[in-house]
Amino acid sequence: MELSQAVSAQTSLVQRLLDGVATIGADPPGITRDAYGRGENAAQALIAEAGRALGMTASLDAGANLTLRWASGHDAPPVLIGSHLDSVVQGGNFDGAAGVIAGIGAVAALQAAGIAPKRDIEVLGLRCEEAVWFGLGLIGSRCLLARLPDGALELPHARSGLTLAQSIDGCGGDSARLRQNTPLRDPATLGAYLEVHIEQAPQLVEANAPLAICLANPGNVRHPFIRITGEDAHTGLPHRFRHDAALAGADLSLSLERMWLEEEAQGRPMAVTIGRFHTPAARHSLTAVSGGFEMSLDLRAYDAAHLAALEARLDAIAAEVAARRKVTIALGERSAAAPGPMDRAIVEELSAAATRCGIPAPRLNSPGSHDANNFAASGVPTGMLLVRNRNGSHNPHEAMETADLMAAIGVLAEWLAR
Ligand SMILES: [Zn+2]
């Protein structure tokens, strides 16, 4: 059978798995597959069963990630195809799971086409990619590649209250092994990591293309608890006497937006998100100038040097706003994640595979960070395919067409066949 026909023939398998993980996660009006909990475990079991039916060997690593191996009998470094099986609370069905299912679909297609792998192909069902469960994201791939930050294993699960270590051990992992803080797989022994993921913005809907070849995933710098301190005052106080923390917060936000637009106008993509933005609820009122203000900041960019330059600009902007508004601005706690540039050779290979499949596949930066970031940051040649998705992600209205996922599986299978 031609490979393209063999891919089409997997549509019912892929649909069955998509429907299966939706049933597992059903939590109207959305989907909840709790990490290191019932939802993720059940999705992992469903995927493991599908892999075993294809003759793949299933195993769990110390992070309790699922690995399904299609052994080739050759020594060449394996190709890993992965994504995650958890979801946010009442999110959509496709963020994560579609990528794991794509790996199963591609293996099934290669087998149906009678193509023997030239190296082992492994499909990974990674754990806990979403930050909602422990306040830290990408946990499965961090476990795999020894990239957990200090103290991570003691973080409590948002739902069960168990620590991450207890959660991992309860799902068949080995937190004691993770405490050794060495990679579970030596990155130097991995041939490539490839992730299929829905796009979290409607750029492919706009471009009228079923999928894109990802160029880079953003890294970020986050300040979850920015505090601005001025002076509480009467609403009659003239402007020149005010130390208005609320307007300073607005000023800081709009100054950062101006920076964003300037940077993008100069061809340097990035994003600024102020997720939390408020006067202190316990004492704010209609008739007071607010002496306090709190906000969060997520600053993201696609290149480590650019991100560092943006952070320097952030410091300068905060200092300027504080001086002009006569307030203090404490950026507070900081966390950071490295950008994930995709491997140039894999980008070219995927483009060539898409061309051979006759599928239009523009090149795009991913709006979101993914497990792929950890593989790229660990030196594993990494690639991603982004699948068209209307309505964004992390909400019940994610809308990916199975036909678009099949197009991605076609490109993935074509790439694997070479
Ligand atoms: Zn995801």
Residue 15 clears pLDDT 90, i.e. is over it: yes
- Cα–ligand 1 centroid distance for 138 (angstroms): 9
For residues 251-264, average pLDDT: 98
- Given this model, what pLDDT does residue 418 score? 87
The pLDDT of residue 108 is 98
Give the model's pLDDT for residue 323. Answer: 98
pLDDT for the residue numbered 392: 80
| pLDDT tens-digit readout, 71-121 | 999 999 999 999 999 999 999 999 999 999 999 999 999 999 999 999 999
- Per the structure, the count of domains in the chain is 2
pLDDT above 90 for 287: yes
Q: How far away, in angstroms, is 401 Cα from ligand 1 center?
A: 17
Other Cβ atoms closer than 10 A to 170? 16
For ligand 1, the distance from its centroid to the CA atom of residue 87, given in whole angstroms, is 8
Q: How far is the CA of 49 from the centre of ligand 1 (A)?
A: 22
Task: Measure the CA–CA gap between 418 and 415, rounded to whole angstroms.
Answer: 6
Residue 356 pLDDT level (bands cut at 50, 70, 90) = very high
Question: Looking at the structure, do residues 24 and 164 belong to the same domain, yes or no?
Answer: yes
pLDDT higher than threshold 90 for residue 391: no
Whether the per-residue pLDDT at 136 is higher than 90: the answer is: no
pLDDT at 41: 98
- The answer on 323 and 223 residing in a single domain is yes
User: Are 197 and 231 members of one domain?
Assistant: no
Answer yes or no: do 145 and 268 share one domain: no
- How far is Cα 363 from Cα 148, in angstroms, rounded to an integer? 30
Cα of 370 from ligand 1 centre, angstroms = 6
Domain end (from 292, 312, 337): 337
Rounded CA Rg of the chain:
23
Q: Looking at the structure, do residues 311 and 180 belong to the same domain, yes or no?
A: no
Residues 141 and 271 both lie in one domain: no
Say if residue 135's pLDDT is above 90. Answer: no
Percent of the chain with pLDDT over 90: 92
Q: At 282, which CATH number?
A: 3.30.70.360
Q: Residue 111 has what pLDDT?
A: 98
pTM: 0.88
How many A from CA of 390 to the centre of ligand 1? 15
pLDDT surpasses 90 at 159? yes
Q: What's the mean per-residue pLDDT of the chain?
A: 96
User: CA triplet 65, 13, 109: central angle to 5 degrees?
Assistant: 85
Last residue of a domain, one of 296, 318, 337: 337
Residue matched to tokens 């270590």: 165
Same domain? For 46 and 73 the reply is yes
Cβ neighbour number for residue 207 with a 10 Å cutoff: 14
pLDDT value at residue 226: 98
104 and 61 together in one domain: yes
Using the 3D structure, point to which of 311, 337, 363 is the last residue of a domain.
Answer: 337
Same domain (yes/no): 142, 99: yes
User: For residues 102 and 412, what is the distance between their CA atoms, to the nearest angstrom?
Assistant: 8
pLDDT digits (tens, 9 = 90+) for 393-404: 888 988 899 999
Q: Do 181 and 323 fall within a single domain? A: no
- Considering the domain architecture, whether residues 130 and 261 belong to the same structural domain is answered as no
Q: How far apart (Å, rounded) are the C-alpha atoms in residues 98 and 94?
A: 5
Amino acid (one-letter) located at 291: G
| Mean pLDDT within 233-254 | 97
Residue 358 sits in a domain of what CATH number?
3.40.630.10
* Residue 374 reports pLDDT greater than 90: yes
Q: Region 18-42: what's the mean pLDDT?
A: 97
Q: Residue 304: what are its φ and ψ, rounded to 5°?
A: -60, -40
Domain holding 319, by residue range, is: 219-337
Q: What is the pLDDT of residue 338?
A: 83
Q: Which of 124-128, 274-278, 319-323, 332-336 has the lowest mean pLDDT?
A: 332-336
pLDDT band at 305 (very low <50, low <70, confident <90, very high): very high
pLDDT score at 362: 96
Q: How confident is the model at residue 188 (pLDDT cuts 50, 70, 90)?
A: very high
Q: How far is the CA of 95 from the centre of ligand 1 (A)?
A: 4
Better pLDDT: 288 or 392: 288
Q: How far is the CA of 124 from the centre of ligand 1 (A)?
A: 14
| Amino acid code (one letter) for 209 | A
Shared domain check, 71 and 183: yes
pLDDT of residue 71: 97
CA of 374 to the centre of ligand 1 (A): 13
- The proportion of the chain whose per-residue pLDDT surpasses 70, expressed as a percent, equals 100
What is the dihedral angle through the alpha carbons of 105, 110, 116, 120, rounded to the nearest 10 degrees?
A: -30
Distance 122 CA to ligand 1 centre (A): 19
Q: Is the pLDDT of residue 193 over 90?
A: yes
**How far does residue 84's CA lie from ligand 1's centre (Å)?**
6
pLDDT at 313: 98
Tokens, residue 414: 């074509």
Comparing 118-132, 139-153, 299-313, 387-401, which segment has the lowest mean pLDDT?
387-401
